[in-house]
Amino acid sequence: MSGDAMAVGTILALGLVCFLARAAGFWAAGIMPLPGWLLRLLKHLPGTLLAAMVAASALASGGLAGPCGAVVGALAMTATRNALLSAFAGAGAAALVVAAGA
């Protein structure tokens, strides 16, 4: 078997294993009752994970643009409760900081 064929076979096998693991999780979640506290936690998890990823990215950017954009975006979200507007406000603030050369 050539190296290319083995790589394709490995990728397909890993994809199948990944799919089966996800399918088993959905299947198990469908047959097991979840306690109320876990359902409430899972309801708020996507927003929390997004905020954590944005904060980590902003702080790891190595300049002022990331943190300034994150702060402006957070303030815009607090004031307007509009996710799209806050994303544009944060990106605009970061772009202004980059354009200013800071």
Question: How far is the C-alpha of 27 from the C-alpha of 37, rounded, in Å?
Answer: 21
- Mean of pLDDT values over 2-17: 89
pTM: predicted TM-score of the whole model, two decimal places: 0.56
pLDDT at 60: 84
Question: How far is the C-alpha of 7 from the C-alpha of 23, rounded, in Å?
Answer: 24
**Exposure pattern of 11-29 as b/e (b: 16+ CB <10 Å)?**
eeeeeeeeeeeeeeeeeee
Residue 1 binned pLDDT confidence (cut-offs 50, 70, 90): low
pLDDT at 85: 94
In the chain, % of residues over pLDDT 90 = 49
Q: Name the residue ranges covered by the structural domains of the chain.
A: 1-32, 35-102
pLDDT at 86: 92
Question: How far is the C-alpha of 86 from the C-alpha of 73, rounded, in Å?
Answer: 5
10 Å CB burial of residue 66 (0-12, 13-18, 19+) is buried
**Model confidence over 37-78: pLDDT tens digits?**
988 888 888 888 888 888 888 888 778 898 999 999 999 999
